Amino acid sequence: MRTQVAIIGAGPAGLLLAHLLYKAGVECVILERRDRAYVESRIRAGILEQVTVDLLRQVGVHDRMDREGLPHGGFALSADGELTRIDMAALTSKSVMVYGQTEVTRDLIDAAIARGIPLLFEAEDVALHDVTSARPVVTWRQDGEEKRLEADFIAGCDGFHGVARASIPADVLRTFERVYPFGWLGVLADVPPCDHELIYASHERGFALASMRSNTRSRYYVQVANSEKLGDWSDERFWDELCVRLGPDAASRVTRGPSIEKSIAPLRSFVAEPMRHGNLFLAGDAAHIVPPTGAKGLNLAATDVAYLAEGLAGFYRGDSSGIDAYSARALARVWKAERFSWWFTSLMHRFPDTDAFGRRMQMAELGYLRGSPAAQRVLAENYVGLPLH
């Protein structure tokens, strides 16, 4: 088999890249390790920046998002229960869209199949070969058979634990990492959200987040130590802890119900540089991870592939400047989102080694945000997403 771009991974990065290439008339094949049901049921991100919404519109995969997504012009910060609204729409003239990653993935898969974009699930033991040559090759096993795909380029969109980044020699890659001493325990429940907008809560017992997937489905998180076990968190314990951290005002509006999903996600900041090695390009979580506090992970995956698709389309028109600039261009945006996600995480969470002085510093900064439109604007500008350059 032969194609122009071999895409490893059918997460948001790989799927959106395939549609952008399709629109530009560039051929691709997507290889995904898991089966379709698994990929479509992974529960993750919930917030789309305006640039991500625009990219989905650009590729024509937006009908259901426009029908079912919830545009949000603001969110609240809670400091020990005291609420401050950040009016994103007034501060930046932009908003975000609440539309789950699960839905985005389903829409992109349905559209890929409808458009005849080759999308192969259950590709086992994917391996990359000769990535610095003009003819890179991908091999894998499917239904017990060895398969082989020749391509001009390989796009490594296979997430943090994928094979693409691992195929780059260690002396070529420089990595930067911060592992946080806590994770997020998340619960999904078919109950109405406690507010029509998100609430990010900093409490002396730790962070909490009130989010949603629709007007009838809530997504809540509480910060937990890395040593916590899921089995120790009954639904009742979760709701009690959430309500304490959100404070009495928001807690009075929380509707409790049985969890339909419950999981713990560790928090990490990570960047690998450069995002290109020969004819292999990394995009999305394969190249970088942000802690979820700023809601940037899925959005960075989308903007990486926007740059990459533009570069690859240019290459097939005889201009390789876009692919040559890809890594530096993407990393410039990635580092700004890394900074914001790290800052917002540091402001809102309880760190095990934070003393009384550290907590006062967090509360002083939250107080400053409460009273300063300038500070709110900095937060809002980053939250709605920096422009694509």
Binding region for ligand PHB (CB under 6 A) out of 20-28, 40-48, 104-112, 129-137: 40-48
Residue 385 is a binding residue for ligand PHB (CB under 6 A): no
Nearer to ligand PHB, 279 or 293 (CB): 293
Assess contact for 336 and 381: CB atoms under 8 A: no
Considering beta carbons, is residue 167 or 202 the nearer one to ligand PHB? 202
DSSP code of residue 326: H
Q: Does 292 bind ligand PHB (CB under 6 A)?
A: yes
Alpha helices in 120-224 (DSSP H): none
Residues 43-82 that bind ligand RFL (CB under 6 A): 44-47
Q: Which residue of the set 62, 277, 288, 296 is catalytic?
A: 296
Which lies closer to ligand RFL via its Cβ, residue 75 or residue 184?
184
* CA–CA separation, 133 and 142 (whole Å): 25
Query: Catalytic residue at 292?
Result: yes
- Select 167 or 293, whichever has its Cβ closest to ligand PHB: 293
User: Is 296 part of the annotated catalytic residue set?
Assistant: yes
- Verify binding: residue 101, ligand RFL, rule CB under 6 A: yes
Is 121:39 a contact under the CB 8 Å cutoff? yes
- Contacts to ligand PHB from residues 129-168, by CB under 6 A: none
d(CA 43, CA 188): 9
Catalytic residue among 19, 72, 203, 349: 72
Q: Which of 183, 180, 212, 182 is nearest to 196 (CA)?
A: 212
Helix (H, G, I), strand (E, B) or coil at 350: coil
**Which residue is closest to ligand PHB by CB?**
46
User: Catalytic site residue 316?
Assistant: no
Establish whether 368 is a catalytic residue: no
As a dihedral over the C-alpha atoms of residue 260, residue 264, residue 270, residue 274, rounded to 10 degrees, the angle is -40
Helices (H) and strands (E) in the chain, counts: 12, 20
- Asked whether position 13 contacts ligand RFL by CB under 6 A, the answer is yes
Residue 184 contacts residue 200 (beta carbons within 8 Å)? no
181 classed as catalytic: no
Q: Which range binds ligand PHB by CB under 6 A, 78-86, 224-232, 248-256, 289-297?
A: 289-297
Concatenate the DSSP letters of all residues of 230-265 into one string: GGG--HHHHHHHHHHHH-HHHHTTPPP--EEEEEEE
Residue 349 near which of ligand RFL, ligand PHB, none (CB within 5-8 Å, type-dependent):
none
Q: In a 3-state reduction of DSSP, which class is residue 136?
A: coil
**Residues labelled catalytic:** 72, 200, 292, 296, 383
Judged by the rule CB under 6 A, the positions of this chain that interact with ligand RFL are: 8-14, 31-34, 39, 44-47, 101, 123, 126, 157-159, 162-163, 184, 186, 265, 284-285, 292, 295-299, 301
